[in-house]
Amino acid sequence: MTQAELGELLGITKQAISKMEQNEKLEDDKIKQVAEALGVTEEGLKNFTEETVLYCTNNFYENCGVKTSAVSNNHTFNNFPIEEAMNLLEKLIEKEREKFESLKKEKE
């Protein structure tokens, strides 16, 4: 989902979305609005980390035959489409590339 698409769902500009992404912390009402727009839980957004995305991506098996009763209760799972996980992962990779290029330029 692009910033413009999310902005449309929230009734704000893509620049406002960009500003939200740069903030370390968002107000609870904003998190609720974004979660609803993305079709995920507030808890999933609050606990989002790169490690979680990688874990979920590596351990996502469609029709794998694993029953929910076999899953430990120590984990909270956020059921959102793999496409969204991949989009998030791609954004994180792009940010890391930008950081790398920035550091590379500083050394030159």
Query: Residue 80: which domain range?
Result: 48-108
Note whether 52 and 84 are same-domain residues: yes
Note whether 58 and 104 are same-domain residues: yes
- Mean pLDDT for the stretch of residues 88-93: 90
Note whether 33 and 10 are same-domain residues: yes
Q: What does the pLDDT look like over 10-67, one tens digit per residue?
A: 999 999 989 988 887 888 888 888 888 888 888 887 777 777 767 766 666 544 555 5
Note whether 10 and 52 are same-domain residues: no
DSSP string, 59-106: T--TT----GGGS-TT-------HHHHHHHHHHHHHHHHHHHHHHHHH
Return the pLDDT at 78.
Answer: 59
Domain count, the chain: 2
Note whether 8 and 37 are same-domain residues: yes
